[in-house]
């Protein structure tokens, strides 16, 4: 199987429809996120869309992005697509001159392991934004700055 990961233009109605469909199939227990802002990618197997990922500017952290959504259809998992999505979002964050990427996982060892393999570290946010058992991750995307501190915009939330 040959896979490609492409950043897509969410202004195109068909692209938004595909992403909404993928969200419903990849994350059936979650409410789909609106596809009206941020940066989005779709993974294709040949011409078939099989996964998606999103990145938005953090509403709470200064100079940071939030990896807010990602999923791969069950039949296409295990081919490294999550790592390719993480890599694409790191590259985008660097082009935007963001210093940090943050994200969270909940009861998802495969995603946690992908984040670890891409250099993300667990951390404890001042104010947790996820579920009671969520794990929080961050990566300084600028070379040589791994000990820098994430600075919150406010005390309300940090996602």
- Look at residues 43, 134, 54, 41 and name the one whose alpha carbon lies nearest to residue 101: 54
pTM: 0.87
pLDDT tens profile 48-94 = 999 999 999 998 788 999 999 999 999 999 999 999 999 999 999 99
Residue 159 has pLDDT above 90, yes or no: no
Residue 80 lies in a domain: yes
What is the average pLDDT score of the chain? 89
Residue 129 lies in a domain: yes
Report the CATH number that the domain containing residue 100 is assigned in CATH.
3.40.630.30
CB 7 within 8 A of CB 91: no
Residue 67 lies in a domain: yes
Burial of 9 (0-12, 13-18, 19+ CB in 10 A): exposed
Residue 28 lies in a domain: yes
Residue 62 lies in a domain: yes
Residue 9 lies in a domain: yes
Give the structural domain span for 113.
Answer: 3-140
H/E segment holding residue 108: none
Residue 154 lies in a domain: no
Q: What is the pLDDT of residue 45?
A: 97
Task: Name the domain count of the chain.
Answer: 1
CB 121 within 8 A of CB 92: no
Residue 148 lies in a domain: no
């Amino acid at each position: 199987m040959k896979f490609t990961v492409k950043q897509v233009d969410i202004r195109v109605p068909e692209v938004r429809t595909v992403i909404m469909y993928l969200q419903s199939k990849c994350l059936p227990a979650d409410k789909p996120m609106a596809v009206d802002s941020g940066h989005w990618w779709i993974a294709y197997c040949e011409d078939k869309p099989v996964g998606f990922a999103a990145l938005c500017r953090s509403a709470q952290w200064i100079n940071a992005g939030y990896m807010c959504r990602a999923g791969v259809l069950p039949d296409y998992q295990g081919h490294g697509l999550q790592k390719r999505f993480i890599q694409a979002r790191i590259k985008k964050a660097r082009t935007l001159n963001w210093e940090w990427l943050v994200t969270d996982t909940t009861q998802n060892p495969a995603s946690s392991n992908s984040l670890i393999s891409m250099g993300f570290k667990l951390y404890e946010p001042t104010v947790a934004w996820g579920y009671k058992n969520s794990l929080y991750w961050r990566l300084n995307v600028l070379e040589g700055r791994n000990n820098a501190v994430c600075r919150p915009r406010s005390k309300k939330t940090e996602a």
